[in-house]
Amino acid sequence: MKNKKIWVASAIIILGLLFFYFDLGKYLTLASLKENRAALVTFYESHQVVMVFGFIFAYIVQTALSLPGAAVLSLAAGAVFGAVMGTLYVNIGATIGASLAFLVARYLFRNVIQNKFGTRLEKINTELETRGFNYLLFLRFVPVFPFFLINLGAGLTGMHLRSFFFGTMVGIIPGSFVYCNAGASLAAINSISEVASPRVLGSFALLGVFALIPVLYQKIKKKKQS
């Protein structure tokens, strides 16, 4: 078992190093996307199935390995596939990729963390086992928490994979649509920071609060009963 974990960890590290060694990040910039948009659209018109599956696969790899470039990939989806279909493809790729990162973190490190901090994490694990979906929705909606850290951190807790998968799938829809919709009007964007305006971020935060209402209701109800 230990050797298998070493092989898995080594493979992930090697893939990450290859990404930076070949400087693949230079293709995941706004300037590069604008420069190559016409070529991408032309290729998509001739090879739709290949382009769709290739994009989803690239998004899965990027998310699973916690590599940079998710925002540009989401913009690219909107620029090539349109806002609606782009959101769908981003959602598929990001949900599968995040779930893989979740499973890898759980496989490699959960036992170590639980053995060392199990008693301290007991209450957190119980909460996430019963209400993990709502907590994850909150974390996905509120843009303060880095996407990859949520994937890895959740894998170390008692959250069920089912809750993580569906919480991610639902929770990333608003953000994915905002970026894909912006990508559909790519020429009007001068920087990625323009996409998520304070008003948009505030709306996401409000959605996050609504996601916690069922949890708060259950806690208040339980307190009154006791």
User: Which residue from 204, 8, 176 is spatially nearest to 93, judged by alpha carbons?
Assistant: 176
Neighbours of 120 (CB within 10 A): 8
Written as six digits, the tokens of 188 are: 């009007």
Taking 70 as the threshold, does the pLDDT of residue 1 lie above it? no
Residue 189 DSSP code: -
Separation of alpha carbons 201 and 143, rounded Å: 7
Burial class (CB in 10 A: 0-12, 13-18, 19+), 107: middle
User: How far is Cα 85 from Cα 91, in angstroms, rounded to an integer?
Assistant: 10
Q: Is the pLDDT of residue 216 over 90?
A: no
Cβ(94)–Cβ(174) below 8 Å? no
Does 117 have pLDDT greater than 80? no
Exposed/middle/buried for residue 186 (C-beta within 10 Å: 0-12, 13-18, 19+): middle
Q: How confident is the model at residue 199, as a pLDDT?
A: 80
Tokens of 108: 């490699």
pLDDT tens digit string along 9-37? Answer: 999 999 999 999 999 999 999 999 999 99
Q: What share of the chain is helix, strand, coil (3-state, %, to 5)?
A: 85, 0, 15
Q: Which amino acid is at 133?
A: F
Answer whether residue 2 shows pLDDT above 80: no
- Strand, coil or helix: 66: coil
Q: Examine the pLDDT at 118 and tell me if it is beyond 70.
A: no
Distance CA 197, CA 218 (A): 33
Three-class secondary structure of residue 180 per DSSP: helix
DSSP code of 192?
G
pLDDT tens for 123-174 read 888 888 889 999 999 999 987 789 999 999 999 998 999 999 999 999 999 9
Q: What is the mean pLDDT of the chain?
A: 92
Query: Residues 185-195: pLDDT tens digits?
Result: 998 898 988 88
Entry pTM: 0.93
Tell me the DSSP string of 141-187: HSTTS-HHHHHHHHHTSS--HHHHHHHHHHHTHHHHHHHHHHHTTGG
CA dist., res. 201 & res. 206, Å (int): 9
CB 180: neighbour CB atoms within 10 A?
Answer: 27
- Measured CA to CA, the distance from residue 182 to residue 186 in angstroms comes to 6
- List, for residues 177-214, the tens digit of each pLDDT value: 999 999 999 988 989 888 877 888 888 888 888 898 98
